[in-house]
Chains A and B, each alone.
Chain A
């Protein structure tokens, strides 16, 4: 008890609590303004993120150990069943892949005949999610790859099903990914069925993105699949984005209201793929090399 009494301040030193609060609030406002209006705190951010990184890594360690330990104690029967299923699937895919290679070659020949740009294969790198910020304003995730691993801002991010979002901030060891569902995050899309182009925007709501600026007469139906159109130069063409869930035809609006459900499992993944975007000029020589003689 004597300990606690010591802490009662009989003779407070320095400015009073109210004055200190005012000072801290003013500093906070200055920081907020410097961050949002002038964007001058990039250095502070990356310094703080380097500070946070060991804590984030320490948190990941027990999860990794849990994964490894629970992976070790797997039932033998389960393993055998999984193995059989995977073998079967592998056989199924082998046939499909043969056909796919054939089609790809045919497609590239046809594209050469047409003089169209070649499609390049996607190079991706795996990253693990290390934290999900709890913030009603933003739909973001933090992954464990940063500028030290060659990640840079603007790279598209996907999971094994579809497009997730885009790298928006890069720190030395971590980077921040803004999801498609983040408010105002636009993605140029195309309806897979008929090639109609549009732009989808995140709403800041879970599991919903909206296609805006489509006229009332647009040919879009519930269940249509949206893929990236690739005309922005950021997202590669043909990645799955969303399916159309609801269409509102109210005549009191100039445009259709189209709600879509994102394809990627926005809430249930641990690993994501960061797509390496190849500069447009760099891929042409590599494409021509097999046809002519290498220089």
Chain B
């Protein structure tokens, strides 16, 4: 394993930037699938959950700025008010930054429980923004994405942790 150490500290960082971009693109793509009917309401916000995962794991790479930009893309995809989800994503990222060090101490289920209020905050912010922009809220089904997003935290964490296990183990040895 010694042959891997000269490039040691820089390699995982470079690899995970690519991983971050790919995972965020995948989240966006999953959001853009043509979901219909009930599935549409139960659909978790993939992009938001993956963004929050990276805010927890790598707050230096993915912070409020990235969250804002991704929120703007979501607004575009929704065809709604531009800036609505941008604001909501930023607020959620801020909340995550506040809780970031605490969240890392828990196991996955407990982390998911901590993510739940953050997802709720995102939805409430986006509703408040849209209400000020002059839309009338209708439909409590909108909040179904909060519990499903919480459940999504588990597979997202497991999946995104997996490719980074190897270099870290190599580091330690």
Q: Tell whether, in the assembled complex, residue A4 and residue B129 are in contact, meaning their CB atoms are under 8 Å apart.
A: no
Interface size on A, residues (CB 8 A): 54
Q: Tell whether, in the assembled complex, residue B32 and residue A3 are in contact, meaning their CB atoms are under 8 Å apart.
A: no
- Is A94 engaged at the interface, CB distance under 8 Å to the other chain? no
Q: Tell whether, in the assembled complex, residue A2 and residue B171 are in contact, meaning their CB atoms are under 8 Å apart.
A: yes
Residues of A within 8 A of B97 (CB): 17
Q: Tell whether, in the assembled complex, residue A135 and residue B129 are in contact, meaning their CB atoms are under 8 Å apart.
A: no
Q: Tell whether, in the assembled complex, residue A131 and residue B33 are in contact, meaning their CB atoms are under 8 Å apart.
A: yes
Residues of B within 8 A of A176 (CB): 79
- Is A140 engaged at the interface, CB distance under 8 Å to the other chain? yes
Residues of A within 8 A of B90 (CB): 21, 24-25, 28
Residues 1-50 of A at the B interface (beta carbon under 8 Å): 1-4, 7-9, 17-18, 20-21, 24-25, 27-32, 34-36, 41, 44-45, 48-49
Specify which of B31, B79, B82, B133 is in contact with A142 (CB 8 Å cutoff).
B79
Shortest beta-carbon distance from A120 to chain B in Å: 31
Bound complex: CA of A24 vs CA of B92, how far in Å? 12
- Is B104 engaged at the interface, CB distance under 8 Å to the other chain? yes
- Is A270 engaged at the interface, CB distance under 8 Å to the other chain? yes
Q: Tell whether, in the assembled complex, residue B91 and residue A130 are in contact, meaning their CB atoms are under 8 Å apart.
A: no
- Is A132 engaged at the interface, CB distance under 8 Å to the other chain? yes
Q: Tell whether, in the assembled complex, residue A52 and residue B136 are in contact, meaning their CB atoms are under 8 Å apart.
A: no
With A21-B90, A28-B86, A52-B73 in contact, is A7–B78 under 8 Å at CB?
Answer: no
Q: Tell whether, in the assembled complex, residue A52 and residue B138 are in contact, meaning their CB atoms are under 8 Å apart.
A: no
Residues of B within 8 A of A32 (CB): 81-84, 87, 129, 132-133
Residues of A within 8 A of B59 (CB): 7, 9
With A24-B64, A32-B132, A36-B133 in contact, is A133–B101 under 8 Å at CB?
Answer: no
The main secondary structure of chain B at its interface with chain A is helix
Residues 100-140 of A at the B interface (beta carbon under 8 Å): 129-138, 140
- Is B157 engaged at the interface, CB distance under 8 Å to the other chain? no
Q: Tell whether, in the assembled complex, residue A21 and residue B35 are in contact, meaning their CB atoms are under 8 Å apart.
A: no
Bound complex: CA of A194 vs CA of B86, how far in Å? 50
Residues of B within 8 A of A270 (CB): 34
Q: Tell whether, in the assembled complex, residue B32 and residue A55 are in contact, meaning their CB atoms are under 8 Å apart.
A: yes
- Is A75 engaged at the interface, CB distance under 8 Å to the other chain? no
Residues of B within 8 A of A59 (CB): 29, 32-33
Contact digits for B88-109, partner A, Cβ 8 Å, 1 yes 0 no: 0011001001100100100000
- Is B163 engaged at the interface, CB distance under 8 Å to the other chain? no
Residues 131-183 of A at the B interface (beta carbon under 8 Å): 131-138, 140, 142, 169, 176, 183
- Is A217 engaged at the interface, CB distance under 8 Å to the other chain? no
Shortest beta-carbon distance from A42 to chain B in Å: 10
Residues of A within 8 A of B77 (CB): 52, 131, 133, 142
Residues of A within 8 A of B171 (CB): 2-3
Specify which of B28, B79, B145 is in contact with A138 (CB 8 Å cutoff).
B79
Residues of A within 8 A of B60 (CB): 7, 9
Residues of B within 8 A of A44 (CB): 82
- Is B76 engaged at the interface, CB distance under 8 Å to the other chain? yes
Specify which of A31, A132, A183 is in contact with B40 (CB 8 Å cutoff).
A132
Q: A21-B94, A28-B129 are in contact. List 18 more A-B contacts (CB 8 A).
A: A17-B64, A17-B97, A24-B64, A28-B87, A29-B87, A30-B83, A31-B72, A35-B83, A41-B82, A55-B28, A63-B33, A63-B34, A131-B33, A134-B78, A137-B136, A137-B137, A138-B79, A176-B79
27 A-B residue pairs with CB within 8 Å: A17-B64, A21-B90, A24-B86, A25-B87, A25-B91, A27-B86, A28-B68, A28-B71, A29-B83, A31-B83, A48-B72, A48-B76, A52-B73, A52-B76, A52-B77, A55-B29, A55-B32, A129-B34, A134-B78, A135-B78, A136-B127, A136-B138, A136-B142, A137-B137, A138-B135, A176-B79, A183-B136
Query: A residues near B, CB below 8 A?
Result: 1-4, 7-9, 17-18, 20-21, 24-25, 27-32, 34-36, 41, 44-45, 48-49, 51-52, 55-56, 58-59, 63, 129-138, 140, 142, 169, 176, 183, 204-205, 267-268, 270
- The 8 A-B pairs of least Cβ separation, nearest first, read A31-B83, A28-B87, A133-B78, A32-B83, A137-B135, A48-B76, A35-B82, A24-B90
